[in-house]
Amino acid sequence: MITIIDYGLGNIQAFVNVYRRLHIPVSVAKCASDLEGASKLILPGVGAFDHAIERLDASGMRPALNELVQHQKIPVLGICVGMQILANSSEEGSLPGLGWVPGSVRSFKAIPELSALALPHMGWNDVTPASDSALFKGFEMESRFYFLHSFFFECLNAEHIAATSTYGLDFSCAVRAGNVYGVQFHPEKSHHFGVGLLKNFAEL
């Protein structure tokens, strides 16, 4: 069962619709008891880092998610800000992240040579997957996804970079550490590329 974590951020219904069209069982979790029976988790998110952490804490699901992800090793896919809160910290806020993928979230603007870069990074961009990235199976020759962000995930360990894109600099747009996956772009807005990625996650 694919379980979408609904803590008040992100277009939950868009993910539900994709999986229903693919005839893949899907549910929505709004509280800890809704997480029972989940075999895979999707953690969406939009907006600011601290606000996302606060909303996740307020949902009461964070302890259960830590148990499922860190101890039971249930695969999880963080999307957009849902990917960013997988990190230890963010330059956007002051609260600690989930710490499931070692690294920090950085602002493009904080890099001096990128001070004139137009933000947010918005629209379609090419994505280069790592050679062993199961999320991108079938897209090795061409991967294009829709982005909308002003911050990027800087992995502490290079082996956790699952894909890169370029906007002013090469940045990690997908991460993977064990059973934890994250993508900065929006698969639910990325047409057949996004549908394929969500299907690949379901088939891991």
Q: Which residues are marked as active site?
A: 80, 186, 188
List the structure tokens of 6: 């609904």
Strand segments (E) across 56-196: 76-79, 89-90, 103-107, 121-126, 128-129, 144-149, 151-155, 161-166, 170-177, 180-183
List the structure tokens of 26: 């899907």
The pair phi, psi for residue 76, each rounded to 5°, is -135, 145
Give the torsion sign (CA, 32, 76, 96, 80).
negative
| DSSP conformation letters of 28-70 | EESSGGGGTT-SEEEE---S-HHHHHHHHHHHT-HHHHHIIII
